[in-house]
Amino acid sequence: MSGLVVVGVDGSSSSDAAVVHAAREAQRRRARLRVVHAFSWPVGPMYAPLEPSPLNRLTQDAAQHARSVAPEVEVTDTVMTGGAASVLAGESRAADLVVVGSRGTGGFIGMLLGSTAVSLAAHGECPVLVVRGEPDHTGPILLAVDGSPSGEPAVDFAFAEAALRGAEIIGVHAWLPDYAPAGTGVESAERLLAQALAGRRERYPDVTVRQEVLSGEPREVLIEASRTAQLLVTGARGRGGFTGMLLGSVSQALLHHAHCPVAVVRGTA
């Protein structure tokens, strides 16, 4: 753990929400907070050089907002040249967590409508928390489980986050009876879920865990369950119901339509 949380800002209302979440995450971790704005210099004869001072004010205002939320957190701010995804992916190498808003302007414009969020979640070297929806702050942490080895880091992250927040975990596995291999039933899905969560209960004895095998299409199951959650945690890739998550429609659906913030935790290659 590096003791660093990074938040990407652009001055939008979504960015402001990300700053609040990032400040609270840094406070929980007793970590430092780094506020980052990314921008690209316009090129061509019609463009005059940009004056950086307004951008500096943007990050300074965001940093001050963070301090008002978590006064004891050490906050720094910076303006960096480059695309949002590449800048934040670079920042992720030294961070425990990168936090971004779901929509924005400037350096983060159309973030979830294009490739930035998917690229950051797929290639970032730490968990990425996308702030969206109106989370139920008293609700559980929803953990999407598919039993794949690449999903192990997401399980670890969810338990650590639950311990920090004093929250309950609901581990969810989406089971599609019509597509299940012959000879398997809901009992197999329940075993898979139990095995995926095994071992963490001993490390986190104070974290309450519930297991739910739900019949249905994974996107629909998780989006509906997120209505009462404070956080949805998922791996970047998987198998079964969550196969190719960040490369296909499931991840897009979660990042666009979940009713609470979504943390994407990338496994090892």
Span 204-224, pLDDT tens digits: 999 999 999 998 888 899 999
Residues forming a β-bridge with 175: 215
Beta-carbon neighbour count of residue 140 at 10 Å? 21
Q: What integer pLDDT is reported at residue 95 of this predicted model? A: 97
Categorize the per-residue pLDDT at 240 as very low, low, confident or very high, splitting at 50, 70 and 90.
Answer: very low
Q: What integer pLDDT is reported at residue 115 of this predicted model? A: 54
230 CB-side CA count, 13 A: 17
Q: What integer pLDDT is reported at residue 57 of this predicted model? A: 92
Top pLDDT among 221 and 101 is at 221
Q: What integer pLDDT is reported at residue 13 of this predicted model? A: 85
| CB distance 68 to 33 below 8 Å | no
Q: What integer pLDDT is reported at residue 163 of this predicted model? A: 97
Top pLDDT among 202 and 248 is at 202
Output the DSSP codes for the chain. --SEEEEE--SSHHHHHHHHHHHHHHHHHT-EEEEEEEE----STT-PPPPSHHHHHHHHHHHHHHHHH-TTS-EEEEEEES-HHHHHHHHHTT-SEEEEESS-SGGGTTGGGSSHHHHHHHH-SS-EEEE-S---TTSPEEEE----GGGHHHHHHHHHHHHHHT--EEEEEEE-GGGSPTT--HHHHHHHHHHHHTTHHHH-TT--EEEEEEES-HHHHHHHHGGG-SEEEEESS-SGGGTTGGGSHHHHHHHHH-SS-EEEE----
pTM of the entire structure? Answer: 0.88
Residue 254 above 90 pLDDT? no
Pair of tokens at residue 67 = 């301090």
Q: What integer pLDDT is reported at residue 106 of this predicted model? A: 47
Top pLDDT among 266 and 69 is at 69
| CB distance 176 to 213 below 8 Å | no
Report how far residue 193's alpha carbon sits from residue 195's, in angstroms, rounded to the nearest whole number: 5
Pick the closest to residue 100 from 155, 157, 20, 4 (CA basis). Answer: 20
Question: pLDDT tens, 11-53?
Answer: 888 889 999 999 999 999 999 999 999 887 665 555 555 566 7
Question: pLDDT tens, 150-173?
Answer: 789 999 999 999 999 999 999 999
Categorize the per-residue pLDDT at 241 as very low, low, confident or very high, splitting at 50, 70 and 90.
Answer: very low
To the nearest whole number, what is the mean pLDDT of the chain? 84
Averaged pLDDT for residues 253-259: 84
Averaged pLDDT for residues 123-140: 88
